[in-house]
């Protein structure tokens, strides 16, 4: 059996630990029961021609398997999910809905959350009309997600790759109360994070950061 190889950073600062997007791929592989190897990289590797051939933007993760080379965490998770019933329902209609929610997580919910993180780091951010506008947009997205999840454990009738990606996106807000203030979303996040596959994936990522932490 050809071993899957996934790139990941050797180390990142604490604010990013547990959020780097190779975690999504690790989680998907654990849910699918597919073993993998890590390709640990640093800043110099990101700029190298060899790595740019795998990941044109120098980011993580990249994915290698039997001559197949992929990048972008969403595309990789979709590739894994399409071969794993644990992540993708066999019913064609449920599969289509699952894919729709996967794209919603990455295209509708995640971008304003990432932008909020960016503007929050600017001077006088709290008084910035731009930040207040982005906060409002994020809250609209979260409220819409709450409505969808009301009375449901997952986006589909059971856990799928859509929940994996949506939970990964909600985790970006961990330094705010925007998820914890919405019990439907908080319990949803905790439910997904309580899965053994998530815990195993997170432990794998965090252990590498601990091993490669700079001295002092």
Give one DSSP letter per residue of 104-173, joined into a string. HIIIIIHHHHHHHHHHHTSTTGGG-HHHHHHHHHHHHHHHHHHHHHTT-SSSSSS--HHHHHHHHHHGGG
> Is residue 135 a contact partner of residue 160, using CB atoms and an 8 Å limit?
no
Q: Taking the model in full, what pTM does it have?
A: 0.96
pLDDT in single tens digits along all 216 residues of the chain: 579 999 999 999 999 999 999 999 999 999 999 999 999 999 999 999 999 999 999 999 999 999 999 999 999 999 999 999 999 999 999 999 999 999 999 999 999 999 999 888 776 667 788 889 999 999 999 999 999 999 999 999 999 999 999 999 999 999 999 999 999 999 999 999 999 999 999 999 999 999 999 997
The boundaries of the domain holding residue 62 are: 4-85+197-206
The side-by-side arrangement of strands in the sheet containing 36-41 is 36-41, 4-9, 62-65, 68-71
Both 182 and 142 in one domain: the answer is: yes
Query: What 3-state DSSP class applies to 21?
Result: coil
Q: 121 and 70: one domain?
A: no
Total domains in the chain come to 2
Q: Looking at residue 123, what is its pLDDT?
A: 67
């Amino acid at each position: 059996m050809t071993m899957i190889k996934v790139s990941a950073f050797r180390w990142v600062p604490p604010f990013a630990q547990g959020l780097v997007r190779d975690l999504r791929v690790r989680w998907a592989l654990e849910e699918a029961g597919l073993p993998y190897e890590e390709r640990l990289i640093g800043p110099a590797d990101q700029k190298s021609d060899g790595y740019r051939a795998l990941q044109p933007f120098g980011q993580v993760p990249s994915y290698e398997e039997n001559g197949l080379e992929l990048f972008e965490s969403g595309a990789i998770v979709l590739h894994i999910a399409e071969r794993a019933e644990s992540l993708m329902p066999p019913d064609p209609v449920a599969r289509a809905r699952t894919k729709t929610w996967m794209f919603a997580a990455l295209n509708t919910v995640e971008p304003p959350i990432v932008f909020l993180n960016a503007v929050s780091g600017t001077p006088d951010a709290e008084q910035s009309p731009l930040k207040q506008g982005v906060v409002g947009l994020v809250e609209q997205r979260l409220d819409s997600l709450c409505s969808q999840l009301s009375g449901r454990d997952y986006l589909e009738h059971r856990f799928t790759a859509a929940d994996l990606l949506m939970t990964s996106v909600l985790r970006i807000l961990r330094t705010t109360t925007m998820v914890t203030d919405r019990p439907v979303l908080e319990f949803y996040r905790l439910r997904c994070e309580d899965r053994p596959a998530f815990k195993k994936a997170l432990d794998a990522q965090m252990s590498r950061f601990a091993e490669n932490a700079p001295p002092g």
